[in-house]
Amino acid sequence: MPVKYVTANDGQLVVERWVGAISHAELTSHGKRQHKDAAIAPGAKVFVDARLAEFPETAFDLARELSDLNGAADRKARTSMCAAIFRGDDFDRAKEWETRARDNGLNVIVFSSLEVACTWLGTDPVATQKLLDSIGI
């Protein structure tokens, strides 16, 4: 699967790397798998690096399904905030996901810069990059 993540700080931080063409089924499977992961502490912060990813199947209408999955009533307390970085090609689609996620009560912001995303999330950019590098995809 081209979506992998690591946890740090006793599960208080989740760092994800998304690489290559990612199908809609892979995105939803990732969300469901992560929701069940006991290594992720309730209220964790999430950092997503999707700069090397492509989303050939996830159109604007499918962004609603993803945000609904993450915004389910039992999911809201699972994470406290999410910073996601996307490259220019998918940035507009990601902003649609951000809007829908925020409508579901999730604190999500899409960025184009690792440093700015880390500042907003309250994480160290160097440490975050090392965690990204450790994922190995």
Encode burial over 71-89: b for 16+ CB neighbours within 10 A, e otherwise.
beeebeebbbbbbbbbeee
Residue-number span of the structural domain to which 21 is assigned: 3-135
CA-CA distance, 74 to 76, in Å (whole number)?
6
Looking at the chain, the whole-number percentage of residues with pLDDT higher than 90 is 47
Q: Write down the pLDDT at residue 63.
A: 53
Q: Which residues contact 32 (CB under 8 A, 6 or more apart)?
A: 69
CATH of the domain at 113: 3.30.750.24
Higher pLDDT, 4 or 101: 4
| pLDDT (mean) for 10-18 | 96
Q: What pLDDT, in 10s, does the model give residues 19-65?
A: 999 888 888 888 888 888 999 999 999 999 999 998 887 665 555 55
Q: Which residues contact 120 (CB under 8 A, 6 or more apart)?
A: 83, 109, 111
CA-CA distance, 94 to 97, in Å (whole number)?
5
Q: Look at the chain and report how many structural domains it folds into.
A: 1
Q: Which helix (H) or strand (E) holds 126?
A: helix 125-135
Q: Write down the pLDDT at residue 77.
A: 45
CA-CA distance, 84 to 99, in Å (whole number)?
13
**Low-confidence winner among 26-40, 76-90, 104-118 (lowest mean pLDDT):** 76-90
- Most confidently modeled range among 30-44, 73-87, 118-132: 118-132
